[in-house]
Amino acid sequence: MKVVVDAMGGDHAPQVIVSGAIEAINEFDVNIVLIGIEEQIRQELNKYKFAQERVEIIHAPTVVGMHEPAIISIRKKKDSSISAGINLIKESGYDAFISAGNTGAVVAASTINLGMLSGVERPAIGVVIPTLKGFSFLIDVGANTEPKPQHLYQSALMAQVYMKEVLGVENPTVGLLNIGEEAGRGSGFMKEAHKMIGERISNFAGNVDASGVFKGEFDCIICDGVMGNITIKISTGLMESASALMRREIRKSPLAMLGAGIMKSRLNHIKKLVDYSEYGGAPLLGVNGIVMVSHGRSSTKAIKNAIKATIGEVEHNILSFMAETFSKN
Amino acid sequence: MKVVVDAMGGDHAPQVIVSGAIEAINEFDVNIVLIGIEEQIRQELNKYKFAQERVEIIHAPTVVGMHEPAIISIRKKKDSSISAGINLIKESGYDAFISAGNTGAVVAASTINLGMLSGVERPAIGVVIPTLKGFSFLIDVGANTEPKPQHLYQSALMAQVYMKEVLGVENPTVGLLNIGEEAGRGSGFMKEAHKMIGERISNFAGNVDASGVFKGEFDCIICDGVMGNITIKISTGLMESASALMRREIRKSPLAMLGAGIMKSRLNHIKKLVDYSEYGGAPLLGVNGIVMVSHGRSSTKAIKNAIKATIGEVEHNILSFMAETFSKN
């Protein structure tokens, strides 16, 4: 299996990308293709000992900035690590592409270069979120900021396939993220989506009130890209602010510092449970190829785990299950 | 000052409503009018000793259920504690109305019975949220699920008036809640709102990426009712789930239990800092009257604090400052 990794994507590229890739080849049965500015990649690789034959470097001379407007960057930088990387999985038989770079650019390049799966009109990004009961799959977290109701229906189908085939959850339930549990809540768009998903999806369990997302009562949680993006950003931002506040308060009292010291291993365990980097990547679904986006702030561990999740998608043949599902719906 | 309190609104009505009202008259210079089913209110009041002349009971025979469709309940139950309570501030010279009941019904009754302030097209609900730097004012958290860009502009103006006149923040900054900081992010609606607010509002500081809401870098944070509702529900839900997870983990280890015991006073302090009930109520702005909505799960303390916040609005003459601001814009 050959996974293409965008060596230039993310706030700490190419360092953490290369270190994550090295950890991945040491732990998993995978070959890695690093795409980006060759000299910079070689310089990073020189820091490590690894099985040389399992790492390939492909030079891509330009880099898409983290905040460049996606469409413009795609049109003007056809030789970027993102565009060229996506083309590798389209034309050269590589299995998957991962980038912690500009998400909008990855979505645009994937949509334009790979095209959509038959039956899917728009791409959507899913994330595995930790819950009190284990995990749920939240989709879309930002690929499509103005979906139509049928795009949410298609996301629901894709989420069920992903949850079942890649994450091993039988008969996954589907909930629609909303501002209340009762049918008829939310905007006109949300009411229409509720109706369409309810009519066409097996195991639809109705609206998920936003306050219940982390209780884990729904396997797949469907929403538009703005709501999903707000959901993950509010929750990561809140956890960071709450941790900062906790550290500030604890430092005010020696006794509290002692207590925190004693609790440390448990607190770290909790941190791990709520840590998004444990999954590492967010699958871009709906496009005709296996593409994973990672957070720009991804750590070495997050990159390694994104590669692990990608291997899972390739091994479980996610694309053919998606195609099969949409051919029947 | 006479504040009308819906005695029948909320999950623990009339008990916590009456106890909150009693605490309020004991602490603040206010007279309370309890509206609802007289017999039930009297039964609760009998549990307390208080200055009888400062509490008035007004009988309203029907109750709007927490999950009844708002418009229907308003049309069919004109004698409910919500509709009749709103009418008291319109017609009988009472100063303000507070309800922890069906928010949709309060919004509908206020809009229909009180009408809008001149220059404001739609109501919006604001909440004071705790941040690392103190607090911010987030608006709208659910009154208007399908606003037009100018409604967000009007919310921004109202938020600035509230922040300055009631909360005492000079020259409050305004940010637009979005899925990225750069101008041009988000849906077409969000781009239009960004442009309009930028052109017309002083102290507009651009987009607030959702991950930064709790950092407290913006005084007023503007969004549509769905985004705002998701924001507060995701954050309260996450804090609850994280607390539950923490308790579960701590119970697994006697040492961690000891540590938590030692930290308890600091942890309680943090809880207080992030506790929405410290403010207690969320002002419904834009309507021609002072109306406060509280969470259905409000505690005695939350009701008392909602009354306190309402007194602040009356004392600071919020309606005339709103009217003055809109007459100039």
Beta-sheet strand order (sheet of A204-209): A55-59, A31-36, A2-6, A96-99, A290-293, A282-285, A124-131, A134-139, A220-222, A174-178, A204-209
Out of A179, A225, A261, whose CB is closest to B230?
A179
Residue range of the domain that includes B83: 1-120+286-318
Q: What is the pLDDT of residue B329?
A: 82
| Min Cα–Cα distance to chain A from B8, Å | 21
Domain assignment present for B52: yes
Domain assignment present for B62: yes
| Claim to verify: residue A171 and residue A141 sit in the same structural domain | yes
Size of interface A-B (CB pairs under 8 A): 179
| Claim to verify: residue B63 and residue B115 sit in the same structural domain | yes
Q: How confident is the model at residue A250 (pLDDT cuts 50, 70, 90)?
A: confident
Determine the average pLDDT of the residues in B108-135: 95
Q: Choose, out of B102, B234, B295, the residue to mutate when testing the contact with A (most A CBs < 10 Å).
A: B234
**Does residue A272 surpass a pLDDT of 70?**
no
CB contact under 8 A, B179 and A230: yes
Q: What is the ipTM of this complex?
A: 0.90
Report chain B's terminal Cα–Cα distance, integer Å: 31
CB contact under 8 A, A179 and B69: no
Q: What is the mean pLDDT of chain B?
A: 92
- Please enumerate in sequence order all residues whose Cβ is within 8 A of that of A132, keeping only pairs 6 or more positions apart, or say none: A214, A215, A216, B241, B244, B245
Q: How confident is the model at residue A240 (pLDDT cuts 50, 70, 90)?
A: confident
Phi, psi (rounded to 5 degrees) for A222: -105, 140
Domain count, chain A: 2
Q: For B117, which DSSP code? A: P
Q: What is the pLDDT of residue A242?
A: 80
| Claim to verify: residue B265 and residue B254 sit in the same structural domain | yes
Q: How many CB atoms lie within 10 A of CB A115?
A: 13
- The Cα A66–Cα A81 span in angstroms is 13
| Claim to verify: residue B81 and residue B103 sit in the same structural domain | yes
| Claim to verify: residue A76 and residue A141 sit in the same structural domain | no
| Claim to verify: residue A71 and residue A209 sit in the same structural domain | no
Domain assignment present for B60: yes
Domain assignment present for B327: no
Q: Choose, out of A72, A144, A179, the residue to mutate when testing the contact with B (most B CBs < 10 Å).
A: A179
The counts of H helices and E strands in chain B are 11, 11
CB contact under 8 A, A242 and B215: no
Q: Choose, out of A133, A190, A235, the residue to mutate when testing the contact with B (most B CBs < 10 Å).
A: A235
Q: What is the dihedral of CA A78, A83, A89, A95, to 10 degrees?
A: 160
Degrees to nearest 5, angle at CA B226 with A242 and A214: 45
More confident call, B273 vs B54? B54
Domain assignment present for B261: yes
Q: What is the mean pLDDT of chain A?
A: 92
Out of A227, A237, A259, whose CB is closest to B211?
A237
For residue B313, give the CATH number of its domain.
3.40.718.10
- The Cα A185–Cα B172 span in angstroms is 33
Domain assignment present for B39: yes
Among chain B residues, the shortest Cα distance to A141 is held by B179
List Cα–Cα distances, A118 to A114, A237, A324, B325, in angstroms. 12, 37, 10, 54
Domain assignment present for B67: yes
| Claim to verify: residue A143 and residue A269 sit in the same structural domain | yes
pLDDT in tens, A23-80: 999 999 999 999 999 999 999 999 999 999 999 999 999 999 988 888 888 889 999 9
| Claim to verify: residue A157 and residue A110 sit in the same structural domain | no
Q: What is the pLDDT of residue B269?
A: 67
| Claim to verify: residue A274 and residue A293 sit in the same structural domain | no
> Which amino acid, residue B65?
G
Domain assignment present for B99: yes
Predicted TM-score (pTM) of the model is: 0.92
Q: How confident is the model at residue B1 (pLDDT cuts 50, 70, 90)?
A: very high
| Claim to verify: residue A244 and residue A206 sit in the same structural domain | yes
- The Cα B255–Cα B261 span in angstroms is 10
Q: How confident is the model at residue B175 (pLDDT cuts 50, 70, 90)?
A: very high
Alpha helices in B46-127 (DSSP H): 70-76, 81-91, 103-109
| Claim to verify: residue B128 and residue B235 sit in the same structural domain | yes
Among B68, B208, B185, smallest CA distance to B137 is for B208
| Claim to verify: residue A108 and residue A171 sit in the same structural domain | no
Q: State what percent of residues in chain B have pLDDT above 90.
A: 77
**Does residue A205 surpass a pLDDT of 80?**
yes
Query: In a 3-state reduction of DSSP, which class is residue B208?
Result: strand
Out of B69, B186, B240, whose CB is closest to A226?
B186
- The Cα A289–Cα A286 span in angstroms is 8
Query: In a 3-state reduction of DSSP, which class is residue B49?
Result: coil
Determine the average pLDDT of the residues in B166-176: 96
Alpha-carbon B112 to chain mean position = 19
Q: How confident is the model at residue A293 (pLDDT cuts 50, 70, 90)?
A: very high
